[in-house]
Amino acid sequence: MSDRKSAAFPGIVSSFALLGVLATGCAAAQGAEGVKAEPAPNLTDVKRSIVDYHDSGRWEADIAAADRRGQDYLARRLSEGVPKPAIVLDIDDTSVSTYEYELGIGFGFEQESSDEFVLARGPVGIPATRELARFADSQGVAVFFVTGRRENPEMREASLLDLREEGFPEPAALYLRPTDDHEPSVVPYKSGARADIERQGYRIVLSVGDQESDLAGGHAERGVKLPNPMYELS
């Protein structure tokens, strides 16, 4: 979980993005004589809307709907005889949820505490993605995990334990972001990992993630975007 990921769910502004909106609104009010700025969303209200989205069950339902569309597409491609099929799954907030961590810090981010949460195996499995992974595995599809968590022995072990304890099939491979990768975007790393999987002869039918950056860069037939109103990673 070393590098936080991105994304805003439609209609909900992330806490960080909201700060920019507030700043922009203030500048507009000062710089446009005689023009009243539109009121910016209230940060407390935005955080409450995220909690309501989670607690109402709508978030889980939206994830399930997206994963089901992915599974339906995978099933169709398998019926067509796609050779050496594979799927690629992100981990945080795609396969397992870090909501309790985000809730506890008020939907912000602090690197050390984030890593501690992961190493303590705080994340819990996301049922719909687990179902998708199990379906793929039962059909002989290779299941790869590509995460923005940084590569080190402790993080690799914790990530594998997360997946096993939450009922995911054993990965065909687990990719963690190299410690010497300092690119401002995760897209080169994640698309590069998918390209590496293709070089092994696999056909990546699905790539599933909660960020647009999980899916960008090609090397997959279809991308499946899960909702995440908490944070954004470019």
Residue 27 burial by Cβ neighbours in a 10 Å radius (0-12, 13-18, 19+): exposed
pLDDT at 7: 37
Which segments of the chain have a pLDDT < 50?
A: 1-31
Q: Note whether 85 and 77 are within 8 A (CB).
A: yes
What is the token pair recorded at 88?
């690629």
Q: How far apart are CA 214 and CA 187, in angstroms?
A: 7
pLDDT at 111: 76
DSSP label at residue 219: -
Q: How far apart are CA 9 and CA 59, in angstroms?
A: 10
pLDDT at 29: 45
Q: Note whether 3 and 150 are within 8 A (CB).
A: yes
pLDDT at 23: 44
pLDDT at 33: 57
CB neighbours of residue 131 within 10 Å:
15
Q: How far apart are CA 105 and CA 99, in angstroms?
A: 10
pLDDT at 39: 79
Q: How far apart are CA 128 and CA 65, in angstroms?
A: 8
pLDDT at 16: 43
